Structure 1
């Protein structure tokens, strides 16, 4: 990677992204696949084709143009595994295994137990898919727990990087890129006869979306399983304990609201999930390394992009919005960019 780059300075002790208010002026990023009303880049994201729905939660393409000489900092914190192809941009992720450099490659991202610092030079050009809990095990025999806070290149699961990375070519449109990835997935799944992931894990994910304060004992009783069975299933499919999954869901819901990509009708409900303000601050800081007030002051552009994908899927899964509806945080529906690689 080139060393002739300008770092955007952060306040002392912060790992926050650059301030994305007045986005194109302050961050130099020009959204292509979508943006919030105040200019924060968003992805074009949607549900997968029906045949992939047992394994795949979301398809996404994110493109934002930036200056090649500027390195920006941000965070990722996902409650799902991802496969992502990143092209034309240099990335450095601070994983549990140390710093990882990525450019023009496809990689497997594990779920997060806390936010992962990222740096990227230039803009954003990435496409991929969100894995449902346990899908990593069904598809490639890997438990989510082995990849918590980690990133691996695709040879880790026996896939030649070129199979996915070469699906991108200059000038490809966003929907065309997603269609190529879906076709690759369909061929891989049908030819190998892949079984769907654990339905108990799917039910637990939906419960975490609906009410992350739900009792673990209550969930086990409703689903007619023992608490021990639930703990084993969740650990295998999420890499965390049931209580940790619920804590993460509660905190990500709050972060989503602070990022401005939430249904405002849920504001009071989200706040009441915490016992008091000190509980809220303690939980939030454990995940993001900063208080909600610091988080609001230093708007998380990269995190906003990934949390919006989660929130869109969450509201669709809970039947609170239709797949083709204008999302509550948007003035108009997202449209795929005519070309993901056109300036």
Structure 2
């Protein structure tokens, strides 16, 4: 279990520009919630010009509270995003978000999370109460309200959800995991069982998870400086450099080289 929130920028396109435009930070939830929640993420902004941000979503459910100056706070649940997510921030506002661990939303919702994949719905529409506003006050205030809200939802420990969480974490950490059938054999289960477990508790299949994490790594590595793309493609399990370039371009709208140049 993590004692500090992740500090990488995986999934965030042009993270340097984001950090210049807004205040972005991650905070851990209360210890009792960490089996379910990856982190809370807090964003505040006061912009003279609109800022467009693009994100390649993780295989995770998010619950997001939006507080725009002069307007009411809104709350929504975002299922696993299958495409690049783009949002434009304007004026002054705040967001308080909960990124669940893959599999971590199932004990709260108690339904197959594949029903939410690719969707964004008002929190009330999925049967979960939003409680009071959470975007006001200090970071500690906001996190405490999120802790209280999640605790009020009374999650039920689920061994299958915990298994799914551990398997996805293994995929994220081990770059050598490239094929679903090999991964299933490693754990002594059938590929079909693995697929059912992931769809029910994560929202997408294991092949999708493997490919998404490898693409996120390619995007993060592209931001770090010059690369040998052929070697990176082999390391990440793509058949060749052209395969990596096609998938990278299809997801981001830019080739790896063009994306690296845009950051410079």
TM-score range, shorter chain: 0.7 to 0.9
The answer to whether the 8 A contact 1:253-1:270 is kept is: no
Unaligned runs of 5+ residues in structure 1 are 1-15, 24-28, 30-34, 91-101, 300-343
- Tell me the alpha carbon deviations over residues 209-241 of structure 1, each in whole angstroms, 9 at most, x when there is no partner: 123551322322232221111111112223222
| 1:86–1:145 CA distance, 2 compared to 1 (3 A) | same
Tell me the CA shift for residue 82 of structure 1: 0.5
Compute the TM-score of the two structures, normalised by the length of structure 1. Answer: 0.62
Report what 2:47 is aligned to: 66
Give me the whole-angstrom Cα distance separating, in 1, the residues matched to 2:255 and 2:92.
27
CA distance in 1, matches of 2:88, 2:176: 33
- Aligned equivalents of 1:217 and 1:257: distance in 2? 27
CA change 1:64–1:296 in 2 (3 A) is: farther
Q: Deviations over 1:273-327 (max 9, x none)?
A: 144321221111222232223333444xxxxxxxxxxxxxxxxxxxxxxxxxxxx
2:81 matched to 1:88? no
* Cα contact 1:85–1:105 (8 A) shared by 2: yes
Partner of 1:133: 102
1:205 positional shift: 0.9
Select the structure with the greater relative contact order (CA < 8 A; seq sep ≥ 6).
1
SS in 2 for 1:198: helix
Whole-angstrom distance in 1 between the partners of 2:57 and 2:15: 20
Unaligned runs of 5+ in 2: 1-11
Distance of aligned partners of 1:41 and 1:278 in 2 relative to their CA distance in 1, 3 Å threshold: farther
Instruction: Quickly say closer, same or farther: Cα 1:20–1:240, change in 2 above 3 A.
Output: closer
Q: Is the 8 A contact 2:134 2:146 kept in 1?
A: yes
Q: What is aligned with 2:24?
A: 43
Q: Tell me the equivalent position of 2:201.
A: 237
Conserved in 1, the CA contact under 8 Å of 2:181 and 2:191? yes
SS in 1 for 2:50: strand
**Aligned-pair distance for 1:128?**
1.9
Matched, 1:182 2:162: no
Q: CA deviation at 1:105?
A: 0.6
Give the alignment of 1:83-232 within 5 angstroms. 83-88=63-68, 104-123=73-92, 125-161=94-130, 163-164=131-132, 166-169=133-136, 172-189=137-154, 194-196=156-158, 198-214=161-177, 215-232=179-196
- Over the aligned positions, Cα root-mean-square deviation in angstroms equals 3.1
Partners of 2:162 and 2:205 in 1: CA distance: 17
Map of 1:283 onto structure 2: 247
Residues of 2 paired with 1:160 and 1:111: CA distance? Answer: 20
**By how many angstroms is 1:20 displaced?**
7.9
Q: Say whether 1:77 aligns with 2:39.
A: no
Q: Distance in 2 between matches of 1:292 and 1:40?
A: 24
SS in 2 for 1:244: helix
Q: How many residues align?
A: 244
Judging changes above 3 Å, is the alpha-carbon distance between structure 1 residues 210 and 269 closer, same or farther for their aligned structure 2 residues?
farther
